[in-house]
Amino acid sequence: MTAWEIHGSQFTNCSCAYGCPCQFNALPTKGYCQGLTFARIDTGHFGSTRLDGLNLGLAIAWPGAVHEGRGAMQPVVDERGDAGQREAMLSIITGKETDPMATFFAIYTATCDTIHPPIATRIVIDLDIDARFASYEALGVVAGRGSPILNPITQEEYRGGIKLPNGSEFGECEVGRGWSESVGNVPIKVDDSHAHWSELHLNQHGRIH
């Protein structure tokens, strides 16, 4: 198995209500799950291939809950990467060279019947975990943004999070709301729905605590 590791930050926006019941083994808010996850790799490698400074992401949709399967995934990789770097990012996104079900990428892949060929494009990500701010775009594929939840009476920012000590994606995250839209093989449009921000630190054996 190829040794790899990535460390950076990520933003996720899905179709569920704020808080996302899927994080607690409950059924999705609307009966189906659609989501977009994009990450900035600050430092990383796949074998001897460096991944520092590159971005990656995916659009993914299931007709029911994630664990019920039958999903479709569109991987997206940074066009700035060379052929080896793009292949490395795709391997991570699709759970290759990873212990079975060890990362959320591997779980997602296992629950998808369709993995579309990767799209290499310009990916721009601006995010701040503490501020619950995000703006991202994968040119020609997906664009979105995230912001804090607001108190409906005072309009003050509401701060909350999720703590999952044994989570495959994160140990803790900041929760907010997001708006995203993808086109192409996995079209998704979510408006004012669940979003979260977290540190992303994974290797072939799972999340690094």
Question: What average pLDDT does this structure show over 97-101?
Answer: 97
Q: What pLDDT, in 10s, does the model give residues 33-65? A: 999 999 999 999 999 999 999 999 999 999 999
**Which pLDDT does position 204 carry in this prediction?**
98
List, in sequence order, every residue forming a beta bridge with 111; answer none if it has no partner: none
**Which pLDDT does position 67 carry in this prediction?**
95
Q: How far is Cα of residue 55 from the mean position of the Cα atoms in its chain?
A: 11
Mean pLDDT (the chain, rounded): 98
Q: Smallest Cα–Cα separation from 70: which of 118, 29, 30, 110?
A: 110
Which domains are delineated in the chain?
A: 4-207 (2.40.400)
Question: What average pLDDT does this structure show over 83-98?
Answer: 98
Q: What pLDDT, in 10s, does the model give residues 149-193? A: 999 999 999 999 999 999 999 999 999 999 999 999 999 999 999
Q: What pLDDT, in 10s, does the model give residues 13-35? A: 999 999 999 999 999 999 999 99
Helices and strands counted in the chain (H then E): 2, 16
**Which pLDDT does position 34 carry in this prediction?**
98
**HSE-up of residue 134 (Cα within 13 Å, Cβ side):** 34
- Contact between residue 67 and residue 73 where contact means Cβ atoms under 8 Å apart: no
